[in-house]
Amino acid sequence: MVAGFLLIAGGGFFGLMKTIRNDVERQYSQASEEPLVDTAHLFASLLEQEVADGEIDVSRLRAGVESAYEREFVAQIYQIRKTEIQTHIYVTNAEGIVIFDSEGGAREGEDYSRYNDVYLARAGAYGKRASRTDLEDSRTTVFYVAAPIFDESGEKMVGTLTVSRPETAMAPFAEESRSLILKASFITAAIVAVLGSLWAYWIMLPVSRLTREAQRIAEGRQASMPEMGIAEFRSLSIALENMRRELEGKHYVENYVQALTHELKSPLAAIRGAAELIDDKMPEKQRRRFLDNILTETNRSEDMVRRLVQLASVESQTSLRKLEKIDIAGLVVEELTELSSVVETKRLQVRSEGLDGPQMLEGDSLMLRIAIGNVLNNAIDFTPENGSLEALLSCENGKLVLKVIDSGPGIPGYAEGRVFDRFYSLKNEVTGRKGSGIGLSFVRATMELHGGEAILQNREGGGAEMLLEFNLML
């Protein structure tokens, strides 16, 4: 769009400047004609003082003109230096025969009655003409303006006086104007290009932001329509955001109910089956096993509902509702401490790095605490007894990166692209059970709200590695 705007604006501007430059010559020609009219009538009026018995005496005019052409002068007209008179005069009698020519008498004796300047003036009209000395070169044009000469009574025309001026006399002024216009055109074009680009960018930026956020929504990622400065785009952004919330709310509730119903089927079926089999005649040992199964499935259902509530709370947000300074290193240490009993039970070797000093960023401490706890719990669950666990915090390429590395079986190839999907879980080879499939969805949603990214990948030599990448607080 920016290129198209500049092309249209540039084309229009070029056409305008070309028209102006081409019009300069015509404007200067028109401007030079007006003083020729004044000069012709002034000289004609003076020459009328030399008319006697219907005859024009040009002797005094001839002497005066010759003296004028011999004068030496220098006139600095702005950037143009003028040193000679370029205006010429010729006079015709009543029949249109030239009786005086200021250019050395070259035209004297010739019949000019059919030339427009003389012909029109003798007819009582405005006498003017423009003729070229070289028909192929417009720069050789000479402009002529004639005025009538009357006798002593002022009623009878006894001749005409024509003043002429070559276009070359005005050429330096026209050329200077063209140069100034050309220079101003380049400067103005550069300014228009810069301002036009900034304006187009200013207009397109909200559209790009709206498109980018709409794409994020289409991909199922956390997004919200950005604030817009332009009133029209601000209204559009608000309308799209309202539509997004309405559609997303309906879609989310539908998916939420379907997924919850599906996931609760197994534990509820197990609880019901165990409850139906328990009776007073069942051996105590078998009764205890069924009761333990009911308790286990009940805890599993409670955990799933709790995690779903947490996930729903995070996924319903398009931006963080509160921001506070958080020590990520401190959160990791606290979560490791809370999980120390599980670590000791499985006899895991834990190595930490970068957790000694504070590493600050802005965010929601509760969300991040739950997310980090989910990551560490997930790593411990998939790590076999006597295995190893690493929690490494470092700054890489302007980001704060938390790496949690386990020595478990890693991620099967078929599951690599789905580990963050809601309710998708893998069977734990250590416990033989599947998780809720909600923990990693919560981690991804939390990281997106914090402008970061969650990555789970296999490591060479075995095990998996979870990366939580945060933008550093400026």
CATH number, domain of 49, equals 3.30.450.20
Question: Are residues 301 and 334 located together in one domain of the fold?
Answer: no
Question: Would you state the structure tokens that stand for residue 329, as one six-digit string?
Answer: 């290193």
Number of Cβ atoms within 10 Å of the Cβ of 383: 23
Residues 236, 132 share a domain: no
Last residue of a domain, one of 319, 338, 357: 319
Q: What is the mean pLDDT of each run of 10 residues along the chain (474 residues)?
A: 60 65 61 86 94 92 93 84 90 95 93 95 93 78 93 91 84 65 76 76 70 66 56 61 57 51 59 67 74 70 62 62 84 88 88 88 83 87 90 88 90 80 67 66 83 89 89 62
In a domain, residue 200? The reply is: no
Q: Say whether both 315 and 442 belong to one domain.
A: no
Contact 430, 379 (CB under 8 A): no
Would you call 111 helix, strand, or coil by DSSP?
strand
Q: Tell whether 60 and 127 lie within a shared domain.
A: yes
Domain-embedded: residue 187:
no
Q: CA torsion 322→325→330→336, rounded to 10°?
A: 20
- Rounded CA-CA distance 163/121 in Å is 12
**Could you tell me the CATH number of the domain that includes residue 448?**
3.30.565.10
Range of the domain at 35: 2-177
d(CA 357, CA 373): 20
- 436 touches 307 (CB < 8 A): yes
Do 67 and 29 reside in the same domain of the chain? Answer: yes
pTM exceeds 0.75 for this model: no
Residues 360 and 385 in one domain: yes
Q: Is 451 left (phi over 0), alpha (psi -120 to 50) or beta?
A: left
- 8 Å CB contact between 401 and 394: yes
Assigned domain for 192 exists: no
Same domain for 312 and 324?
no
Handedness of CA 68, 70, 73, 78 (dihedral sign): positive
Residue that is last in its domain, among 271, 304, 319: 319
The answer as to whether 304 is a domain residue is: yes
Residue recorded with tokens 């998939």: 382
Shared domain check, 112 and 48 = yes
**3-state secondary structure (DSSP) of residue 133:** coil
Tell me what pLDDT residue 252 has: 47
Q: Do you know the residue count of the chain?
A: 474
Number of domains present in the structure of the chain: 3
Residues 254 and 325 in one domain: no
In terms of domains, do 315 and 341 share one? no
Asked if the structure places residue 233 within a domain, the reply is yes
Based on the domain organization, do 263 and 125 belong to the same domain?
A: no
Distance CA 25, CA 36 (A): 17
Whether residues 248 and 358 share a domain: the answer is: no
